[in-house]
Structure 1
Amino acid sequence: MKLVVQVKLLPTPEQEAALEATLRACNAAASDVAATARGVGCYRNYDLRRHAYHGIKDDHRLGAQAAQHVIKKVADSYRTLAANLTAGNCGKPGSKRRRKIETNPITFRWDAAQPYDARMLSWRHDARIVSIWTVDGRLKTVAFTGSADQLKALATHPIGESDLLHRDGMWFLHATVEMDEPQVYEPDGFLGVDMGIANIAYDSDDTRYAGTALNGYRRRQQRLRQRLQQKATKSAKRLLARRRRKETRHAGNINHSIAKSIVTEAARTGRGVAVEKLTGIRDRVRLRKPQRVTLHSWSFHQLAACLVYKARRAGVPLVEVDPRYTSQTCARCGHRDKRNRPDQETFNCRSCGVVAHADHNAALNIAARGVVGWGAVNRPHAA
């Protein structure tokens, strides 16, 4: 399996100037290629090279490998744009926003990430330096640092393509490493996980990962941003810039911790993990205006992604199940009724009379569906 490892570069002022010139040249070339692609109606990587390769190589002082990566970056961007248009993420057909996106070429910020391969970037793990190509020549002694786990992963696994990026005045390399994926074991049942807003996660073992603290944190951050934006002084803008992405990092850390706890418990007990397939939930759910901020700040996709990759690294089976009616169906008798759930927390079956926490009941249903889903895929002919 592939894992992305982030390391921080520690360039000297001269090296930093060369790296900045390189990103500016590569992204200016990418914007030119994107305009060419839109003009000639050609978006495939190898076909686009005939129209753009020699021009950007000479005009922007790019090497052969850098020019090819620029063209591939543009082709990938248009492929992503086409997928977003097909999914309806860019507005309705015929809308002003969609027409603008469909007709204007893609543009790239000067500090957008630039891919590097093994010909353009080499690592010396013992000295913790990299040799990296720039438009001003090769920099052979750029220092880097990272956590102990990140450095160990880089030193002990094959390194694939890396991305150079500039963020908040710092330089980073995102390196892709190839890791051995353990064999998935045959699970003895499943640990169901119900994801929500009031409770970030609630598993079928009756373990609650409450969202009260995180939701309160988000509300405080939102009020602070509003006050600073209304103040609009230089010091307020500096504080806004300094706090940028702080909420995102905090929520991401919580999601990683929750996912690690769930996967560790499943591995300890020899079970798999069953989660809801929540694709498109923001399009299906209709909420009042005060609730929309809460829904759209809910990072369930990130939590699901953390569960997926942590389960793969641990060899824990993971299945996605249909989430429909899991909160309305009794996990004991199977009776389904909308009135079974009178409020957010309470589940009261109108058939057998069982009373439980609504999220725990849903997690039990998800666990049961995980067993059925795993058997349908892995034991389709079992009696």
Structure 2
Amino acid sequence: MKLVVRVKLLPTPVQAAALEATLHACNEAATWAAQVAFEENALRPLALRKHTYAEIRVRWGLGAQAAQHAIKKTCDAYTTLKANLRAGRYGRPGTKRHARASGKPVVFRPRAAQPYDDRMLSWQHEQQTVSIWTTAGRLKGVAFTGQAGQLEVLAGHRRGESDLVFQGGKWFLIATCEIAEAALNSHPAGFLGVDLGIVNIAATSDGERHCGRQINRKRESDRKLRSKLQKKNTKSGRRRAKKYAGREARRNKDINHKISKRIVAEAERTGRGIALETLTGIRERARLRKPQRVTIHSWPFAQLGAFIAYKAKRAGAPVVYVDPAYTSQECSQCHHTPRGNRPAQAVFVCRVCGFVEHADRNASHNIRQRGWMVWVCGAQSTAPELTLIA
């Protein structure tokens, strides 16, 4: 299983200047190569290399490996663009948006990430330093730091390339690690149903609800602050909005990590699997009032599901996905499913058998039951191949 570990670099001012100059040179070269690829229709590495390799080496002073990576990065960008065009993410063919995306060369930001292989980057884990290639020469003794668990995974399981990233005024290295998967529990004692919702981010069939008033109040405060800054429409307002957006995203990610860790730990402790809702297309399917639409769009539920999936894969706990239709309206006891079973957001009262339960817990019971049926039918989940640890 592939995981991605992000560590923070601690360069001196001189080292930071060399790293920034390297990113600028590599991305300028990649932008020029993208223009050549567009004009010559050379979208594969071998074909593009014939047109650009020698020029990149001479014009920008890149080493052999750096030039190869700049060319490959360009080809990968066009591959991604083609996939997005086919998937309709830029609208239908013939529309202005589709024409803008397909009718001009790819352009790289001056500080876009640059891949490094083992010839350009070496790790000294005991000293917590790296030796990294730059256009000003090889920098030795560049310090890095990270959480103890991250550094342990990095030292024992790093494989392949690492990306140099400049984000928020800080330098990072993002390394790919290959970790052996735990043996899958092929005979689970049952399933832990997880209902993802608006008021409670996650509610399990064991009765545990993950959210709390404090988180909801903070989410509402963030929403009001975003709206206030957007209405100002000034340079300082946009700068502050960007700053707070990054802070909010990091906090949400931390909460999702904590929620997923508790859910997976409980499933592993009790020898059960995890049943999740299939959330693909939830924004198109959901018919919500305007305040609820704002709330559901402001939380990264897909990220939470991905965190649960890859943590479960490491723990050997099976994960299944079920159809979320009517899980909040169906009675988990008699399976009667009228809309009137939900007299209030948090209350479930079955009109046939009289069963009363918290609405989110009742939904999680239905998800648990559907998960068991999916497992019996032989369907198993696939966890994401690449997930950030942060």
Residues 363, 172 of structure 1: alpha-carbon distance in 2 compared, 3 angstrom cutoff: same
Could you say which residue in structure 1 is the equivalent of 2:14? Answer: 14
The aligned runs of 1:203-242 (5 Å cut-off) are: 203-210=204-211, 212-228=213-229, 239-240=240-241, 242=243
Paired residues in the alignment total 379
TM-score, scaled relative to structure 1: 0.91
Deviation at 1:152, TM superposition (A): 1.6
Of 152-161 and 139-148, more deviation after overlay is shown by: 152-161
One-letter identity of the residue aligned with 1:55? E
- Asked whether 1:115 is paired with 2:115, we answer yes
Label 1:18 to 1:371 Cα distance change in 2 as closer, same or farther (>3 A).
same
Q: Which moved more, 1:117-126 or 1:280-289?
A: 280-289
Matched, 1:298 2:299: yes
Report percent identity of matched pairs.
56
Task: Report the Cα offset of residue 10 of structure 1.
Answer: 1.3
Paired position in structure 2 for 1:192: 193
Map of 1:259 onto structure 2: 260
- Please give the alpha-carbon distance, in whole angstroms, between the structure 1 residues aligned to 2:316 and 2:121: 32
The alpha-carbon distance between structure 1 residues 10 and 306, as it changes in their structure 2 partners (threshold 3 A), is same
- Mapped contact 2:252–2:299 kept (Cα < 8 A): no
Per-residue CA distance 1:122-157 (angstroms, 9 max, x = gap): 011122111111112111221111121122222222
SS of the aligned residue for 2:296 comes to: helix
The answer to whether the Cα contact below 8 Å between 2:196 and 2:202 also exists between their aligned partners in 1 is yes
CA deviations 1:225-256 (Å, max 9, x no partner) are 44455567887676556545111111111111
Aligned residue in 2 for 1:167? 167
Distance 1:288 1:354 in 2: 27
Unaligned stretches of 5+ in structure 1?
A: none
For CA contacts below 8 A with separation 6 or more, give which structure has more relative contact order: 2
* Contact 1:197–1:211, Cα closer than 8 Å, also in 2: no
Q: Tell me, yes or no, if structure 1 residue 70 matches structure 2 residue 73.
A: no
Shift of 1:216: 2.4
| CA distance in structure 2 between the partners assigned to 1:165 and 1:377 by the alignment | 42
Letter in 2 for 1:197: I
| Alpha carbons of structure 1 residues 57 and 288: separation in structure 2 relative to 1, 3 Å | farther
- Residue number in structure 2 paired with 1:367: 368
Q: What is the CA-CA distance between 1:104 and the residue it aligns to? A: 2.2
Query: Equivalent residue of 1:126, what SS?
Result: coil
Deviation at 1:3, TM superposition (A): 1.6
Displacement after TM superposition at 1:85 (Å): 2.7
Q: Is the 8 A contact 2:277 2:321 kept in 1?
A: yes
Question: Which residue matches 2:157?
Answer: 157
Counterpart residue number, 2:61: 61
Match of 1:245, SS? helix
Once the two structures are superposed, residues 180-208 of structure 1 have per-residue CA deviations (whole angstroms, 9 ceiling, x without a partner) of: 21111121110010111111001111111
Q: 1:329 to 1:86 in 2, by over 3 A?
A: farther
Gaps spanning 5+ residues in structure 2: where?
381-390
Comparing 92-101 with 242-251, which one deviates more in the overlay? Answer: 92-101
Task: Please tell me whether the aligned partners of residues 326 and 362 of structure 1 are also in contact (alpha carbons under 8 angstroms).
Answer: yes
* Structure 1 range deviating more: 300-309 or 33-42: 33-42
1:268, CA displacement in angstroms?
Answer: 0.7
1:135 maps to what in 2?
135
SS of structure 1 residue aligned to 2:85: helix
Q: Which residue of 2 aligns with 1:325?
A: 326
SS at match of 1:329: coil
How far apart, CA to CA, are the structure 1 residues paired with 2:195 and 2:53? 50
- In the alignment, what sits opposite 1:39? 39
Please tell me whether residue 97 in structure 1 is matched to residue 118 in structure 2: no
Contact 2:2–2:179 (CA under 8 A) maintained in structure 1: yes
d(CA) in 1 for partners of 2:338 and 2:351? 8
Query: 1:93: how far off?
Result: 4.1
User: How far apart, in 2, do the equivalents of 1:51 and 1:68 lie?
Assistant: 12
195 and 233 in structure 1: CA distance in 2 versus 1, 3 angstrom threshold: closer
Instruction: Give secondary structure in 2 for the equivalent of 1:262.
Output: helix
Deviates more, 1:364-373 or 1:91-100: 91-100
Residue identity matched to 1:66: A
- Report the alpha carbon displacement of residue 119 of structure 1 after superposing the two structures with TM: 1.1
Contact 1:199–1:212 (Cα < 8 Å) also in 2: no
Q: Tell me how far apart the structure 2 counterparts of residues 211 and 87 of structure 1 sit (CA, whole Å).
A: 38
**Cα RMSD, aligned residues only:** 2.3
Deviations 1:66-117 (A, max 9, x none): 1222222222222322333333332344332222112122211111111111
Distance across 2 between alignment mates of 1:294 and 1:92: 29
Separation in 2 of the partners of 1:223 and 1:321? 34
